[in-house]
Amino acid sequence: MDYRFSGNVERLQSSAVRDILKLTQGKEIISFAGGLPAEELFPLEAVHEAVDRVFAAGKGALQYGLTEGYLPLREQLCARMAQKGMTVEPDQMIMTTGSQQAIDLIVRVLLEPGDVVLVENPTYLASLQVFSLSGLRVVPVESDHDGMIISEAERLVREHKPRLVYVVPTFGNPTGRTWSLERRKGLLDICSRWGVPILEDDPYGDIKFDAGATYPTLFSLAGSADGGGVLYTSTFSKTVAPALRTGWAIGDRKVIRMMAKAKQAADLHSSTLDQQTLDQLLRHFSLDVHIRKIGDAYGERMRQMQALLRQQGWEDVKWVQPEGGMFLWLELPEALDAEALLRCAVSKGVAFVPGASFFAAQPQRNTARLNFTYTHGERMALGISRFAEAIGEFTARR
Amino acid sequence: MDYRFSGNVERLQSSAVRDILKLTQGKEIISFAGGLPAEELFPLEAVHEAVDRVFAAGKGALQYGLTEGYLPLREQLCARMAQKGMTVEPDQMIMTTGSQQAIDLIVRVLLEPGDVVLVENPTYLASLQVFSLSGLRVVPVESDHDGMIISEAERLVREHKPRLVYVVPTFGNPTGRTWSLERRKGLLDICSRWGVPILEDDPYGDIKFDAGATYPTLFSLAGSADGGGVLYTSTFSKTVAPALRTGWAIGDRKVIRMMAKAKQAADLHSSTLDQQTLDQLLRHFSLDVHIRKIGDAYGERMRQMQALLRQQGWEDVKWVQPEGGMFLWLELPEALDAEALLRCAVSKGVAFVPGASFFAAQPQRNTARLNFTYTHGERMALGISRFAEAIGEFTARR
């Protein structure tokens, strides 16, 4: 049969990151491409013990669950959210298949095809895919290392009347940037005045390198029990393990109810084996101690990668040191196309993500995202030397 | 903030079944409402052993996986599909969060808002929700106990040029009906001539009461390696356990690739802990023996429920005995509105699903779906006597 496809899916680009992941699977390639957490830090034993406790609870544990998610887990998560200044009740929370699904559900309940969403520039690739799949118009807002330029955001809000602003204000992907307090408040102010909901995507907020630093979420700054127009999403993928595919969203009760209606249709509910496991994990394992361990290890890896890059003595490769998260964002020599560089790098046995796909429009082609959490130690050194070789070949050609 | 919602989600009815499930949670209500498998038959120990083997494999088991799903599981599933006459390769299969997500993804890649989908009448409620969420026009085809009336299907295909025909040909939900071979071939013939893809939803096909009976799928009857225009979906929810939320779809490679693109945006991938667990389960546990056990037990429960209903001596309550699946579909006295009956029944401590919500148009209000798999033995007898009491009150009033 000659299948016809919907326009939105025809136009949808497959994720460059996941395609590279697929390309490199099983091959001897050192990958700085995926946003993969460090496997050796997974709390395998603790998760296994948690699963055992779920099975000890009996056969009911394997039955269908609520669309909104496993209530005891939501209750525990509400307590964790409160510690971050986000005081919500379980009926303001929905469990999702990773925070990725939260983005998709929010878009499906709040936006119509053709609606405008404002994003940072560059921004999280897979959010751009959601927006594209739903036929939205994506308008990027000029951004620097402190976040969106607020005057620009306001100008574009006036001009485009967006139905959503999507941001990753803490240790963003791909840039690793952290919004200043002033910019956070500035965006809240604009969105509150113009009645535009904000989707605050916070998968990395816990992964900070300075244990004492605090990064208030937009949701907490809004200072309203219902989020004051902010919908917040996060995930266990970076703090526990991605395989469990468990994220959540919090916000206004009505939005959460609508998301639950949409989720009934989308997949009924997410894995309750995973949710019950996480519930048990939170009861018997100090996740905060574990998160500190991850933050420290990743901080060290970030510094290692920076040191390795500095050793190359490049004058025209630039980056800003991130305060947390999983990525270094490189600006390469101006004439260098990172997609061409990638092909050369893969032939030398190293992968990264060319920056272009993170831009909603007018991509800056001389940019690259390097993950520093997955590959470490000598392998990281070998990977960076291969990467440097590839860059050397390109700059020599000019 | 005053949130505005998308028209599709505003119009979307919350699932009656899941709302009743929520209503009855924790209460002393005997429920024939949900499509819940029998908990006491869950292979808890075998699943637990399978999970243990996944953890023994090491920390990599907790990492991100492929959007298409865990390859060893897909390979095993392809062998199982081949046993049913559906010869497919792993790249013709995508793992989903229950078969529910397969329906949603297929709709998202093949249809545009306003497109027409043909369905049986009545049909699976949560498929109607997917169609509604995507803004489709649903056209029900007059159907009897052998399936869609083929001449009617053809007339409506001519008239509406649908972009999809959705069917549950084996042990359907809510009716329990099984399509005759002639109707199966008839629909294939029309759809092939008119170029309309068929979505064959087969969550119950394995749950047959007669061990020797065979029910060829539309996919196998189409006799083409790429499904010949049929996309087929099934799930482990009824044969192993719903909590693992693992379904799959097979079909034309191009459609599967498009579904993977859409799934990247929707949730990146489904739980790999669950998928790896099922992979291990299939390697060390005889799922077919287990499925036979379920089929036998459910057949007995179906006969028990029928016997209990017959004991009431009602002349104007009718049903057709199903050959498999999980539901009895009752036609109640003509003037009886099953939604009003439900309120009365719940007050007496028993729940079922009024039939109206399974109709895309012109609901037959004197219908009810009773699940016979979850509640059994004396509790089933008590539940049916409460149900009979409620009916008695209603018929006495006339």
Going by C-alpha positions, the residue among A218, A180, A186, A178 that lies closest to residue A199 is: A218
Q: Are B241 and A62 in contact (CB < 8 Å)?
A: yes
What are the residues facing B367 on neighbouring strands? B331
Sorted by where each begins, the domain ranges of chain B are 13-42+289-397, 44-284
Window 253-282 of A, Cβ < 8 Å to B: 254-255, 258, 260-262, 264-274, 276-277
The verdict on whether omega for the bond into residue B174 sits within 30 degrees of 0, i.e. cis, is yes
Q: What is the pLDDT of residue B395?
A: 79
Mean pLDDT of B67-90: 98
Tell me whether A182 touches chain B (CB under 8 Å): no
Give me the percent of chain B exceeding a pLDDT of 70.
Answer: 96
CA A1 to chain centre: 38
The crossing angle, in degrees rounded to 10, of helices A98-110 and A125-133 is 40
ipTM: 0.96
Dihedral (C-alpha) A299, A300, A305, A306: value to the nearest 10 degrees? 70
Say if residue A23's pLDDT is above 90. no
- Say which residue the tokens 């209530």 belong to: A71
Going by C-alpha positions, the residue among A46, A267, A374, A242 that lies closest to residue B55 is: A46
How far, in Å, CA of A93 to CA of A233, rounded? Answer: 9
How far, in Å, CA of A255 to CA of B333, rounded? Answer: 40
Residues of A in contact with B24 (CB under 8 A): none
Mean pLDDT of B91-101: 98
In tens, the pLDDT along A215-263 reads 999 999 999 999 999 999 999 999 999 999 999 999 999 999 999 999 9
Mean pLDDT of A75-101: 98
Taking CA–CA distances from B255, the nearest residue in chain A reads: A3
The verdict on whether omega for the bond into residue A122 sits within 30 degrees of 0, i.e. cis, is yes
Q: Which fold does the domain B13-42+289-397 belong to in CATH?
A: Aspartate Aminotransferase, domain 1 (3.90.1150)
Say if residue B23's pLDDT is above 90. no
CA A384 to chain centre: 24
Query: Could you tell me if A243 and B62 are in contact, meaning their C-beta atoms sit under 8 angstroms apart?
Result: yes
CA distance A106 to chain B (A): 10
Asked if the A7-42+289-397 domain carries CATH number 3.90.1150.10, the reply is: yes
Q: What is the pLDDT of residue A11?
A: 87
Q: Which amino acid is at A330?
A: L
Query: Could you tell me if A124 and A16 are in contact, meaning their C-beta atoms sit under 8 angstroms apart?
Result: no
Residues of B in contact with A44 (CB under 8 A): 55, 58-59, 61-62
How far, in Å, CA of B55 to CA of A51, rounded? Answer: 10
Rounded mean pLDDT of chain B? 95
Tell me whether B321 touches chain A (CB under 8 Å): no
Q: Are A63 and B5 in contact (CB < 8 Å)?
A: no
Query: Could you tell me if A186 and A218 are in contact, meaning their C-beta atoms sit under 8 angstroms apart?
Result: no
Question: B398 pLDDT band (50/70/90 cuts)?
Answer: low
Residues of A in contact with B37 (CB under 8 A): 63
Asked if the B44-284 domain carries CATH number 3.40.190.10, the reply is: no
Instruction: Enumerate residues 6+ apart whose C-beta is below 8 A from A347.
Output: none
Question: B11 pLDDT band (50/70/90 cuts)?
Answer: confident
Taking CA–CA distances from A107, the nearest residue in chain B reads: B6
Going by C-alpha positions, the residue among A350, A309, A301, A306 that lies closest to residue A326 is: A301
Say if residue B99's pLDDT is above 70. yes
Mean pLDDT of B235-263: 97
Q: Are B274 and A271 in contact (CB < 8 Å)?
A: yes
Q: What is the pLDDT of residue A297?
A: 98
Of A255, A260, A267, the CB nearest to B101: A267
Instruction: Enumerate residues 6+ apart whose C-beta is below 8 A from A313.
Output: none
Ranges of H-type helices in chain B = 7-11, 16-24, 44-56, 71-83, 98-110, 125-133, 150-160, 181-194, 218-222, 253-267, 272-284, 287-311, 338-347, 377-397
Q: Are A101 and B267 in contact (CB < 8 Å)?
A: yes
- Say which residue the tokens 């007339």 belong to: B155
Going by C-alpha positions, the residue among B34, B1, B7, B240 that lies closest to residue A219 is: B1
